A = this chain, B = another copy of it.
Amino acid sequence: MTELLTLSADAQDLLFREARTANRFTEEPVSDEQVAAIYDLMKFGPTAMNTQPLRIVLVRDGEPRERLLKHMADGNRDKTANAPLVAVLAADSDFHEHLPRTFPHAPHAKASFSDEERRAQAATFNATLQIGYFLMAVRAAGLAAGPMGGFDAEGLDAEFFEGTSLHSLLVVNIGTPAADAWLDRLPRLELDVVVRTA
B14, B59, B193: which contacts A98 (Cβ < 8 A)?
A: B193
Chain A: residues with Cβ within 8 Å of the partner, total of 79
CA distance A131 to B21 in the complex (A): 18
Known A48-B149, A132-B132, A194-B52: A5·B64 in contact at CB below 8 Å:
no
B-contact 0/1 string along A91-135, CB 8 Å cutoff: 000000010011101000000000000000000010011111101
Chain A residues packing against B (C-beta within 8 Å): 1-2, 4-8, 10-12, 14-17, 19, 21, 33-37, 39-46, 48, 50, 52, 54-60, 64, 67-68, 88, 98, 101-103, 105, 125, 128-133, 135-137, 139-142, 145, 147, 149, 160, 169, 183, 186-189, 191, 193-198
